[in-house]
Amino acid sequence: MKLQQLIAASLIILATTSVSAEFRIGKDFSTLSKPLPVKEDGVVEVVEVFWYGCGHCYNLEPVIDKWSAKQTKDVSFTKMPVTWSAMHQLHAKLFYTIEALGIGDTAHTAVFTAIHKESNYLQSDEAILKFLEKLGVARSETLKYMNSFSVKQKMKRAVELSRQFKVTAVPMIFVDGQYKIEAKRTHFEMLQVTDHVIALQKPVS
């Protein structure tokens, strides 16, 4: 190997080591006390736990959407609404209803806008029905999905995972049911840590 190639290779190794050393387990991210089984299907599953009413989640939304759009097929990104209280569960039901209706591309952003820009806090089923009507969804269609077995099962699963993950704040990101990343000083840094943890997990997913 020529001297120039050797120097270049050494610089790459040094840079990689430096980047890896920036984020440490126990400081920048942590392991779950009861991790989920790894599927070992070659795909790293990333879950963002959020709440429509959370200001930090509202600000993170466009950033994480751009980040997720850049991921390759070996990374699967999903959102999961938090389910702490009756209000959180109402908004979780709204989230899964929107997903069932197939209007997530526009409706999720519309919910964030309604709450944070228009002071429409969507505090009841009736408020949700009126809100979705304005988006062009018939009341009967919303009720069909809102009360469906599928939405109820997804709600139940979200409650179970929130407890298992011990979600204490939002936004929060989980990687492959093994690692937890809490909100950082900036959204960019939070996603940098997420990228680091994904890279760690890829060889065993």
Residue 29: strand, helix, or coil: strand
> Is the confidence at residue 8, as pLDDT, over 60?
no
> For the segment 84-118, what is each residue's pLDDT rounded down to a tens digit?
999 999 999 999 999 999 999 999 999 999 999 99
In order of their start, the domains of the chain are: 24-204 (3.40.30.10)
Q: Could you tell me which residues are beta bridge partners of residue 180?
A: 30, 174
Residue 1 has pLDDT above 60, yes or no: no
* pLDDT tens figures, 122-143: 999 999 999 999 999 999 999 9
User: What's the token pair of residue 116?
Assistant: 């944070």
Mean pLDDT, residues 159-183? 96
pLDDT band for 185, please (50, 70, 90 cuts): confident
pLDDT tier at 184, thresholds 50, 70, 90: confident
Answer whether 176's CB lies under 8 Å from 45's CB. Answer: yes
d(CA 143, CA 170): 28
Cross-strand partners of 75: 44
Please say if the pLDDT value at position 11 is more than 60: no
Has residue 179 got a pLDDT over 60? Answer: yes
Kindly state the helix (H) or strand (E) to which residue 117 belongs, with its residue range.
helix 104-117
Q: Are strands 30-31 and 44-50 parallel, antiparallel or unpaired?
A: unpaired
* Residues in CB range of 125: below 8 A, 6 or more apart: 90, 146
Q: What percent of the chain has pLDDT above 70? A: 90
Provide the mean pLDDT of the chain.
Answer: 91
Structure-block tokens of residue 95: 């989230």
Dihedral of alpha carbons 35, 38, 44, 49, sign: negative
21 — pLDDT class (breaks 50, 70, 90): low
Q: What angle do CA 198, 204, 205 make, to 5 degrees?
A: 65
